[in-house]
Structure 1
Amino acid sequence: MYTGILHLHSYMTYLVLLGVLISFAAALAGLFGNRPFTDKDRKLGLLGLIPVHLQWVFGIILYFVSPNGLKNFSGEAMGDPTSRLYILEHPLTMIIAVILITVGYSRAKRQIGTESKGFKSIAIFYGIALLLILIRIPWNAWPGN
């Protein structure tokens, strides 16, 4: 079970990055194109929101079944940079990214029909979340390495 969830979590990252990038790019295009935020734009925001939430669920499951997750939590593990990444830094940063994306989408969906406030909300929150995701992906464990 652990290996299957680990692979699912690892490969799902591609969908997360693609979805967030598409949502972010569409928000920037709408923001700089000076057009109103529509229901179609709200749905483009879902391309980032849905995979991120699925990935979060897989990550929570993985955190509890992985030997690198909660089972490894100790003061000694905090001294090891790799263990600290898996125990604390990666999960905490990703939870913050999920919260940012959720807040950005929630704020934007209330702005349908308005100027560019929906685009601005998605661009700011998804952009910060994307940056957090990119800096805390364990690149050494990336599929194919």
Structure 2
Amino acid sequence: MADAAALKFTLTATTGLMGAPTFRCNGVLKPGGAVEVENAEITQALPPPHGVTPITGPSGRWGNDIFNNQENLGIIITGGVASPPAQVVMRVECGFQFPEKGALKAGETLKGRGSFPNQGQPMEDVPAELKLS
């Protein structure tokens, strides 16, 4: 389980393949399970305006009970993405799991897996990295 202190984090998820979409998120894991998201986006090596998809109004939650698996730390980030051409904002949910070995500490990096949507297509079981500071 996590320490009582808030921890800054950077979460990145990508297949590592050239041109593949990448999910990036920065924020703070707060005591009690809230996630304060500073920035969340999905990027891909595509010509503008398609290369960066910001996730608007992001929020989240975290803990060992997110995915009914007490052995893993779960993080869920939700928000909206504008879908062209009408720029209709669609709700998105991105979920990640990391093996946890005790209290979280600043300076720690956890490796796990997760999923996120990319232009309506699910990116599932993608390698993810959670850096804590």
More helix by share: 1
TM score, norm. by length of structure 2: 0.24
Return the structure number with greater strand share: 2
Structure with larger RCO (C-alpha < 8 A, sep 6+): 1
TM-score using structure 1 length: 0.23
